[in-house]
Amino acid sequence: MAIKQQPKQPRGRIIAKVLLGVSGLFLLLNLVLPILLPSGPAGVPYSLFIHQVKSGDVSRVSVGQNQIRYQLKGENGEQGAVFATTPIFDLELPKLLEEKGIEFAATPPPKNNWFSTVINWVVPPLIFVAIWQFFISRGGGGGAQGVLSIGKSKAKVYVEGESEKITFVDVAGVEEAKTELVEIVDFLKTPGRFTEIGARIPKGVLLVGPPGTGKTLLAKAVAGEAGVPFFSISGSEFVEMFVGVGSSRVRDLFDQAKKQAPCIVFIDELDAIGKSRSSGGFYGGNDEREQTLNQLLTEMDGFAAGDATVIVLAATNRPETLDPALLRPGRFDRQVLVDRPDLSGREAILKIHSLKVKLGDDVNLKAIATRTPGFAGADLANLVNEAALLAARNQRQTVAQEDFAEAIERVVAGLEKKSRVLSDTEKKIVAYHEVGHAMVGALMPGSGRVEKISIIPRGMAALGYTLQLPTEDRFLMNEEELRGQIATLLGGRSAEEVIFGSITTGASNDLQRATDLAERMVTSYGMSKVLGPLAYQQGQQAMFLGNGSPNPRRMVSEDTASSIDSEVKEIVEKAHEHALEILKQNRDLLEEISTQLLETEVIEGEKLYSMLSRVQPVDKAAYSVA
Ligand code: ADP
Ligand code: MG
Ligand code: ZN
């Protein structure tokens, strides 16, 4: 919407069409002309011709390759009729003609044959070229320069359109992301201000978030705000049938972009090319994708400081599958979370989209927002449209609240799998669960600050989540910190136990991660006094402090195996008790924060810090394993 696209002629296709047309015409003429043209002399059988020669009736013969024409002797010195016959392989003929004293000659190459020559020599290549052109223009080469343009990038260039450009006003509910992107707009507008004091302008910004939350929209808005060209290409367009084309596309895209700098290159669905190179997957690695990825990395490394300001924005909803090389400094070193909107965000998005429809007086956008937790921006835009359709169907002049109510039902039914809408009880459980994580996490050393708690369903698995960001880069962790992490992971389940006295299935992922961590403490990091500093796992862990599950164990004796198990169990249980104790002693606070969370769906920033700072610690000596 609201964006102008530079007209881009699919010239390859036009050429192909013209060529196809021309060759078709030739073929048609070839078929039709022989019928229309005045027919030659009457054809006779060869035997008749020979007979006439032998009986001396023939005066002249002209022998051609495909035809023998001959004239009969006329009466009274007049010329006789002309006949034609089809020659057969007859070496005796010249002799016979000579014997009979008949004038004969070979037929000169027919003059009007240029036509069939043209058809025979020109048409087949034309058809070939036409087909070639057709495939290239379809295969996405752009085709602007014919065959040579096979690698030309298909990036769409969006330029500012006066009345219809997208700006930050068109995006709502993602305030944090907007704040971060305002900086990028500054870089693009006044790069000098930053380079003069020696600051390096970031090259890549990765927008991460679930589908439909407005990542593409935000990228366009950045371009609109900065008033710079916007090259947009989708990751899946990169990966092509022809080997090498993907990487030449990348090169071409960046060449074009550098000419237009300052500008934005937007790569949508980055995961299509950025998949981790180590994860071979079903196809055992994909050469083409790898080349494309390497080219992208080279290009991003290529534009040095002081060079043209080209900022690469990319979007993905699966950051965990991206190749780590993409996330290194100097590449996509900035990541901006574009999350599902909270209550007030949803209201703001509804406001934006309902500007396009006529709203009745009874419409209460806040009430609609309250009923649509888990809806992303795209879902809300769709909702407004559905409501307008319903109003039109019901012959109303304006959209009424009841249209919205019905539209929500429709959209929710359609969304069922995509974004769950939780029942009130479920929502309550999720709220206490997340606050449990947050409160335990707030007390534990080394696990960073709790930045955000949300009960807006997100992604495939999480119903709610607690975002804990490290305050510094951590490469090493000590035993106490690891125990703290495990306790934090168990905090969610512990809160459910404290408040509801029962446990739901929601904690299974937490338990998995807690157990993995405990197992690694025992088998990889040598943190168990009982088992000592031995590595019981095979090989190196690929991700050092990552979430990967432990490697297969070495061959160990049954005794050792069972003591590993009991050590792991001991660690997890202690951490569980610790978490339970914290939550029991801070039960009032747990209730308070959870009630608040149920109301606003999200708590973050200062408000969250000040609430969590009130959590009272318990004597942790009791919970570390001796
Ligand atoms: P994504 O790229 O994250 O999958 P899009 O940017 O393509 O999502 O969003 C699709 C459409 O949904 C947008 O064109 C816009 O109409 C609407 N939309 C999504 N998020 C928002 C938002 N935060 N504010 C306003 N409209 C939004
Ligand atoms: Mg998108
Ligand atoms: Zn949890």
In the listed set 383, 413, 443, which residue is the last one of a domain according to the structure? 413
**What number of other Cβ atoms are within 10 A of residue 604's Cβ?**
16
Task: Point out the residues of the chain with pLDDT beneath 50.
Answer: 1-9, 140-150, 160-163, 280-284, 305, 416-418, 459-461, 473, 540-548, 626
- Name the DSSP letter for residue 213: S
Whose CA is closest to atom 5 on ligand 1?
214
Q: Are residues 486 and 563 in the same domain?
A: yes
**Side chain identity at residue 371, one-letter code:** R
493 contacts: CB under 8 Å, gap ≥ 6: 433, 436, 503, 507, 510, 511, 576
Q: Is 567 a catalytic residue?
A: no
- Does residue 419 lie within any of the structural domains? no
In the listed set 311, 337, 363, which residue is the last one of a domain according to the structure? 337
Ligand 3 center from residue 538 Cα (angstroms): 30
Closest CA to 181 of 18, 409, 334, 381: 334
Q: Are residues 567 and 597 in the same domain?
A: yes
Q: Are residues 64 and 44 in the same domain?
A: yes
| Closest ligand to the CA of 166 | 1
Using one digit for the tens of pLDDT, what is the confidence trace for 560-588?
888 889 999 999 999 999 999 999 999 99
Q: Are residues 303 and 392 in the same domain?
A: no
Ligand 2 center from residue 235 Cα (angstroms): 11
101 contacts: CB under 8 Å, gap ≥ 6: none
Ligand 2 center from residue 263 Cα (angstroms): 19
Q: What is the pLDDT of residue 195?
A: 78
Task: Bin 488: left if φ > 0, else alpha if -120 < ψ < 50, else beta.
Answer: alpha
Q: Are residues 484 and 586 in the same domain?
A: yes
Q: Are residues 236 and 331 in the same domain?
A: yes
In the listed set 393, 413, 433, which residue is the last one of a domain according to the structure? 413
Q: Are residues 619 and 539 in the same domain?
A: yes
- Does residue 418 lie within any of the structural domains? no
Q: What is the pLDDT of residue 427?
A: 85
Name the residue of 215, 217, 456 whose CB sits within 8 Å of the most ligand 1 atoms, as the mutation to test its pocket.
Answer: 217
Using one digit for the tens of pLDDT, what is the confidence trace for 413-433?
555 444 556 678 888 999 999
What is the domain range of residue 409? 343-413
Using one digit for the tens of pLDDT, what is the confidence trace for 3-25?
434 444 455 566 667 766 776 77
Candidate list 386, 434, 496, 581, residue with the active-site label: 434
Closest ligand 1 atom to the C-alpha of 210?
A: 3
- Does residue 321 lie within any of the structural domains? yes
Q: Are residues 85 and 165 in the same domain?
A: no
Q: Are residues 124 and 179 in the same domain?
A: no
| Closest ligand to the CA of 490 | 3
- Does residue 511 lie within any of the structural domains? yes
CA–CA gap between residue 106 and residue 557 (Å, rounded):
102
- Does residue 30 lie within any of the structural domains? yes
Closest ligand 1 atom to the C-alpha of 345?
A: 23
Domain of 36: which CATH number? Answer: 3.30.720.210
Using one digit for the tens of pLDDT, what is the confidence trace for 322-339?
877 787 777 887 888 888
Q: What is the pLDDT of residue 207?
A: 92
Ligand 1: residues with CB < 6 A are: 171-174, 211-217, 315, 349, 352, 377-378, 381
Whose CA is closest to atom 25 on ligand 1?
171
Ligand 2 center from residue 481 Cα (angstroms): 38
Q: Are residues 376 and 460 in the same domain?
A: no
Whose CA is closest to atom 11 on ligand 1?
378
- Does residue 201 lie within any of the structural domains? yes
Work out how many domains the chain is built from and give that number: 4
Closest CA to 399 of 414, 412, 383, 411: 383
- Does residue 197 lie within any of the structural domains? yes
Q: Are residues 192 and 308 in the same domain?
A: yes
Q: Are residues 453 and 598 in the same domain?
A: yes
Domain of 189: which CATH number? Answer: 3.40.50.300
Closest CA to 82 of 101, 96, 68: 68
Ligand 2 center from residue 588 Cα (angstroms): 43
- Does residue 446 lie within any of the structural domains? yes
Closest ligand 1 atom to the C-alpha of 173?
A: 23
Q: What is the pLDDT of residue 171?
A: 93
